[in-house]
Structure 1
Amino acid sequence: MNPQHSPVYMPNLPKPPHNPNDADTIADWRKQVRKALLAARTDMPGEMRIPAVAAICRLLKDVLASTDLPAKARVGFYWPVQGEIDVTNVIGAHIAKGGQAALPVVTARHQPMVFHRWTPDTTMVTGFANIAIPATQADQEPVVPDVIFAPLVGFDQQGYRLGYGGGFFDRTLEALGFKPVVIGIGFAHARLNTIFPHQYDVPVDILITEQGVEYFGR
């Protein structure tokens, strides 16, 4: 699906660095862009946010139903924080059709996350960084997802993602030993020309905003 032309909330972002080959300069620029995009996501007017979220969830349902994805896929998703797009209704519908879902759990700083099964009846408790996790996760075997939803702080034209800077997502993908289908989910205003990716960065496979669906990677 090609992105559609619709009004996009435009944040005020810092200009790209003059020296894109300097690691410290890039790191500082990413930090400033991350801060600006997080503020923009929180401050996005309701009259723009509500229809944008609805459009994203409709597209996400269509993608999950695609024959390109495993039937009844195990989907690793996220519990929404800091203005992230709430996809729990999409996940609930996926489970109702026979799919499975799991939430990431942080076991320790600088360690990969593990995924534990979730259903709409799962009791939640507060985990790392005050993010909700399944209450029974300590008694569960980790779930290995076929598909992972990645909330995007920012993203670029090549599908590279700008996250929160903690490195949890990248470490988790590496620890899985294989690459699940990664679906990046974000608002169109978070698009950048480039995030100046590192050599080890991998683009998302599918990118969904309110303007449409784009495919990268595979």
Structure 2
Amino acid sequence: MHEVDPSYMGFSPDDRPVADVAAWRLNERKRLIEERKCLSSVNRENLSRSIALNLDDVLGDVTRKVISLYWPFLGEPDLRGWMSAAATRGATCSLPVVVGKGQPLVFRTWRFGEPLERGVWNIPVPSQGKEVRPDIVIAPVVGFDADGFRLGYGGGFFDRTLALLQPSPLVVGVGFELQKIETIHPLHHDIPMDYIVTDVAVHRPSTHRE
């Protein structure tokens, strides 16, 4: 029995029932999103600028790199300015696209001025971009812990996608320092980030892949 995946038996790695973890995550997700949305627009802009600077320290030269970013949603850090600067420096930038429930994300190239259409949750996605495989995935977090695990919106799209991408991209979670929590109570499908970049620090989890 001890050799069976705990999630198959209905338990998380820390022996909490999966249903309890799901309920806890739902409440924690709501709390963290509300906290983030309460930031003033000026404060959010300043914090996003600090995140962009720390992101540069982590990634360095992005020339010829294919990078997946995101369109800001529900008070997430706005890195569209950083995306534009990265494209100017020679990176190929893309946005993730949900193609169907239970399916992995696809990534389509996009530059400012190119057409967008409404995707899931009315988030803009490229309407004509080329499908690419990213070298670097920058994923927004709702919450994160010291082990590099990311609390997202609960759809499982990023974890499902990252499990399939080969070779594995560099995965960087981005968020505000106020979103750090003690643990997300990771389940066996949760994939840790290589780095978590916030307005205060670059967190390199103990689970970082060399």
Q: TM-score range by the shorter chain?
A: 0.7 to 0.9
- State the Cα distance separating 1:45 from its structure 2 match: 3.2
- State the Cα distance separating 1:71 from its structure 2 match: 4.3
Q: What CA deviation, in whole Å up to 9, does each residue of 1:102-142 have, x standing for no partner? A: 111111111111001111221111112211011214xx3x2
**TM-score normalized by the length of structure 2:** 0.86
Return closer, same or farther for 1:47/1:88 CA change in 2, 3 Å cut-off.
Answer: closer
Partner in structure 2 of residue 34 of structure 1:
29
* C-alpha contact 1:76 1:148 (8 A) present in aligned 2: yes
Q: Which moved more, 1:72-81 or 1:147-156?
A: 72-81
Unaligned segments of structure 1, at least 5 residues:
1-18
Paired with 1:126 and 1:46, the residues of 2 have a C-alpha distance of: 24
Percentage identity across paired residues of the two chains: 37
Return closer, same or farther for 1:64/1:121 CA change in 2, 3 Å cut-off.
Answer: farther
The number of aligned residues is: 194
Unaligned segments of structure 2, at least 5 residues:
1-13
Q: What CA deviation, in whole Å up to 9, does each residue of 1:34-83 have, x standing for no partner? A: 000111111123454332122111111232325xxx64310011111111
**TM-score normalized by the length of structure 1:** 0.83
Partner in structure 2 of residue 89 of structure 1:
81
Paired with 1:203 and 1:99, the residues of 2 have a C-alpha distance of: 24
1:112 paired with 2:112, answer no
* C-alpha contact 2:45 2:78 (8 A) present in aligned 1: no
Work out which of the residue numbers 109, 123, 133 in structure 2 matches 1:131.
Answer: 123
* C-alpha contact 1:20 1:196 (8 A) present in aligned 2: no
Paired with 2:181 and 2:191, the residues of 1 have a C-alpha distance of: 16
Q: Pairwise CA RMSD of aligned residues?
A: 1.7
Work out which of the residue numbers 33, 53, 62 in structure 1 matches 2:57.
Answer: 62
Paired with 2:174 and 2:72, the residues of 1 have a C-alpha distance of: 11
1:174 paired with 2:163, answer yes
Q: What CA deviation, in whole Å up to 9, does each residue of 1:135-164 have, x standing for no partner? A: 214xx3x20000001100000011100000
Paired with 1:144 and 1:199, the residues of 2 have a C-alpha distance of: 24
Partner in structure 1 of residue 194 of structure 2:
205
Counterpart AA for 2:161: T
Paired with 2:166 and 2:180, the residues of 1 have a C-alpha distance of: 29
Partner in structure 2 of residue 195 of structure 1:
184
1:49 paired with 2:44, answer yes
Paired with 2:186 and 2:96, the residues of 1 have a C-alpha distance of: 24
